[in-house]
């Protein structure tokens, strides 16, 4: 029986239980149900309710907040829960194609329950599964069924003990032996051990292993993915030649078994190569369908992006939870007051509002961005699946890579700082494990470093923008990208000549104001970074040195300002659509303005300095 949106306990959006928050809820200028419907849509709300109801009613998911679970027990429990999620089969493949946003929604629901569960499920089904599906060919389809039935359990083994960010330096090898038509997977030494691999510690039976592909009498052909069985699915004992184990306790996500593996001349059939990007004939000749290295690179960027786009969503869910916990606590916790007799909720203090409300706005803006970027990624992946090799497809891959490489840092850092602020804003009670802020912070933390350290990823985005500018300067090309995130840069000279005249605080409460300032800032930073880079090169720095010297002062703020602009732009457009219910326009407009101004305010010093350095005399203050 379908539930109704309004109504009793069985409703899609039941009333909150009565309690100390009633007074604040009664003062809301909008209907929270209407906001939920606008933000999620009824279909998505139903989907989420199905998931949460299933978990709530299943004893396997019973919570023991603040419990002192041993590492072994927690990992075991998480594996059983992951298996149960597959049994529930919340999302059919058809549904996934029809409503792709249900994929991140499912992951967010699992992550709201426990980040380790979301990670375990995601790593098996989407990271391992997608790698097999998108890097393999027809001969690998047999694995896909086994993956979704959890007959095999997978992991994605790229990182090694000594190399994470610099994947080119990865040293596991796969030598082809034409005599037996096998690849020999080998780890030359312990520094080349696969390391940090999620699911590998205790439970994975198979791994997608990245290794340097070498054929006899020929040079090596760089990293290629191989599907390698690492454990017996019945006993979970390692396969011959594979040394595999758990890397031990981490700061968080301890339900996930991160592992290491070393391969001692492990022989796998030739067909183990996931051969979409390149293959080896039985005789030992390397062949690749990609003639154009740039095209092949664009395609592989797409698969890197998908991890980063997922992380944006994983980070935001932690911030959603933390902000809700901290704001609810702040609305009920009373401390001090205008008189000794009367204590007021701490949420009434401007200090507490200043600490917490920007993160509430950030949740809305970043959550919207996260969904929109996911849909962009779906477009990219559909093009990939349909064999689209157009220039637009390649450009789309590059644009999404640039956006994902900066939004992953933005989302994970905003969440990291937001949870810390929430935890401190709840005082001592924020430090109690059962209040969950610590777990959220610890579980969010790897979002800042995996799939690329945030600071290093930002360089991808600044390089993308610098590349476009170089293309314009050298070839007179226009700034055009499939998602239009860079198109405004064509108007740079005009934008840099603009003057901002904001005469009142009320004027600033439209995110269009911050948006205009952001465009100015990105134009300014791009120009400055380009000049600084060229200046370094003229002074004799190599490209490597020049980029390193520019990154802290120029490239990093450029990449951050660009992605913040894109987040602000998309949320601004979203909340100013004609379809926004009139009763929600005010609150959504305020959230948009708050996020935009708060983000922009972190660049205040830069705006002042820019104004001083800028050649346009008489420019007015645009930030104070």
Catalytic residue, from 451, 528, 536, 564: name it: 451
Of residues 293 and 605, the one with the C-beta less far from a copy of itself:
605
34 contacts a copy of itself (rule: CB under 8 A):
no
Of residues 299-338, those binding a copy of itself (CB under 8 A): 333-338
| Residue indicated by tokens 């067909």 | 271
Q: Say if residue 198 carries a ligand binding annotation.
A: yes
Q: Per CB under 8 A, which region of 200-208, 264-272, 520-528, 601-609 contacts a copy of itself? A: 601-609
CB of 551 to a copy of itself, least distance (A): 5
Is the dihedral angle over the CA atoms 297, 303, 304, 306 positive or is it negative?
positive
349 contacts a copy of itself (rule: CB under 8 A):
yes
CB of 427 to a copy of itself, least distance (A): 5
Rounded Cα distance, 339 and 346, in Å: 14
Say if strands 258-263 and 182-186 run parallel, antiparallel, or are unpaired: unpaired
Is the dihedral angle over the CA atoms 130, 132, 138, 140 positive or is it negative?
negative
Query: 294: buried, middle or exposed (CB in 10 Å: 19+, 13-18, 0-12)?
Result: exposed
**341 noted as active-site residue:** no
Of residues 268 and 458, the one with the C-beta less far from a copy of itself:
458
Binding residues for a copy of itself, how many (CB under 8 A)?
73
Enclosing H/E stretch for 268:
strand 266-269
Rounded Cα distance, 59 and 302, in Å: 39
How many C-beta neighbours within 10 Å does residue 512 have?
15
CB of 88 to a copy of itself, least distance (A): 30
Q: Are 212 and 167 in contact (CB under 8 A)?
A: no
CB of 340 to a copy of itself, least distance (A): 6
Q: Are 307 and 457 in contact (CB under 8 A)?
A: no
Of residues 535-564, those binding a copy of itself (CB under 8 A): 542, 544-545, 548-549, 551-552, 556
Cα distances (angstroms) measured from residue 399 to each of 255, 387, 487, 516, 518: 35, 19, 12, 22, 19
252 contacts a copy of itself (rule: CB under 8 A):
yes
CB of 605 to a copy of itself, least distance (A): 4
Of residues 403-462, those binding a copy of itself (CB under 8 A): 416, 420, 423-424, 427-428, 430-434, 437-438, 441-442, 445-446, 448-450, 453-455
H-helix segments, 552-603: 556-575, 582-601
Q: Say if residue 39 carries a ligand binding annotation.
A: no
Rounded Cα distance, 562 and 559, in Å: 5
CB of 376 to a copy of itself, least distance (A): 27
Applying CB under 8 A, which of residues 250, 389, 576, 585 lies at the interface with a copy of itself? Answer: 250
Of residues 456 and 470, the one with the C-beta less far from a copy of itself:
456
Q: How many residues does the chain have?
A: 624
Enclosing H/E stretch for 411:
helix 391-425
621 contacts a copy of itself (rule: CB under 8 A):
yes
Of residues 351-390, those binding a copy of itself (CB under 8 A): 351, 354-355
Q: Per CB under 8 A, which region of 380-388, 394-402, 582-590, 605-613 contacts a copy of itself? A: 605-613
Rg (CA), the chain: 26
189 contacts a copy of itself (rule: CB under 8 A):
no
Residue positions in the annotated binding site? 159, 198
**Which residues are known to be catalytic?**
451
- Residues annotated as binding site for FAD? 159, 198
């Amino acid at each position: 029986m379908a539930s109704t949106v309004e109504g009793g306990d069985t409703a899609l959006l039941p009333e909150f239980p009565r309690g100390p928050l009633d007074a604040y809820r009664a003062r809301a200028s909008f209907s929270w149900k209407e906001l939920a419907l606008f933000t999620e849509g009824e279909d998505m709300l139903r989907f989420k309710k199905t998931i949460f109801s299933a978990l709530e009613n299943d004893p396997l998911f019973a919570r023991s907040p603040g419990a002192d679970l041993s590492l072994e027990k927690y990992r075991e429990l998480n594996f059983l829960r992951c298996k149960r999620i597959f049994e529930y089969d919340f999302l059919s493949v058809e549904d996934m194609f029809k409503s792709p946003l249900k994929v991140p929604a499912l992951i967010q629901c699992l992550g709201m329950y426990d980040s380790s569960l979301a990670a375990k499920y995601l790593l098996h089904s989407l990271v391992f599964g997608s790698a097999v599906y998108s890097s393999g060919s027809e001969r690998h389809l047999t694995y896909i069924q086994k993956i979704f039935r959890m007959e095999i359990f997978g992991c994605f083994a790229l990182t090694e003990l000594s190399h994470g960010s610099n994947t080119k330096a990865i040293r596991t090898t796969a030598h082809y032996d034409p005599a037996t038509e096998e690849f020999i997977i080998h780890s030359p030494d312990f520094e080349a051990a696969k390391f940090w691999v999620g699911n590998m510690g205790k439970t994975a039976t198979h791994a997608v292993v990245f290794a340097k592909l070498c054929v006899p009498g020929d040079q090596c052909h760089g990293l290629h993915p191989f599907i390698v069985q690492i454990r017996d699915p019945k006993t979970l004992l390692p396969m011959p030649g594979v040394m595999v184990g758990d890397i031990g306790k981490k700061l968080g996500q301890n339900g996930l078994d991160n592992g290491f593996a070393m391969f001692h001349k492990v022989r796998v059939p030739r067909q183990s190569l996931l051969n979409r990007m390149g293959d080896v004939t039985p005789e030992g000749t390397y062949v690749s369908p990609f003639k154009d290295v740039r095209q092949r690179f664009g395609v592989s960027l797409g698969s890197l992006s998908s991890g980063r786009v997922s992380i944006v969503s994983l980070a935001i869910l932690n911030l959603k939870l933390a902000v809700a916990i901290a704001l609810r606590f702040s609305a009920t916790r009373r401390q001090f007051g205008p008189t000794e007799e009367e204590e007021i909720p701490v949420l009434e203090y401007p200090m507490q509002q200043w600490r917490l409300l920007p993160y509430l706005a950030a949740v809305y803006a970043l959550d919207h961005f996260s969904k929109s970027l996911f849909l962009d990624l779906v477009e990219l992946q559909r093009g990939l699946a349909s064999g689209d090799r157009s220039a637009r497809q390649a450009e789309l891959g590059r644009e999404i890579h640039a956006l994902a490489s900066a939004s992953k840092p933005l989302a994970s850092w905003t969440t990291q700082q937001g949870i810390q602020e929430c935890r401190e804003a709840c005082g001592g009670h924020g430090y109690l494990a059962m209040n969950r802020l610590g777990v959220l912070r610890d579980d969010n933390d790897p979002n800042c470093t995996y799939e690329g350290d945030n600071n290093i990823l930002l360089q991808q985005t600044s390089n993308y923008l610098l590349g476009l500018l170089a293309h314009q300067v050298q070839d007179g090309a226009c700034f055009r990208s499939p998602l239009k995130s860079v198109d405004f840069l064509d108007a740079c000279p005009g934008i840099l000549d603009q003057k901002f005249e904001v005469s009142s605080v009320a004027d600033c409460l439209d995110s269009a104001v911050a948006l205009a300032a952001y465009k100015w800032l990105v134009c300014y930073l791009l120009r400055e970074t380009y000049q600084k880079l060229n200046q370094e090169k003229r002074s004799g720095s190599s490209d490597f040195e020049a980029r390193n010297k520019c990154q802290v002062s120029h490239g990093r703020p450029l990449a951050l300002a660009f992605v913040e602009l894109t987040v602000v732009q998309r949320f601004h457009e979203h909340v100013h659509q004609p379809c926004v219910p009139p009763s929600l326009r005010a609150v959504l407009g305020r959230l948009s303005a708050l996020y935009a101004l708060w983000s922009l305010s972190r660049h205040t010093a830069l705006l002042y300095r820019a104004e001083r350095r800028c050649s346009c005399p008489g420019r007015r203050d645009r930030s104070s």
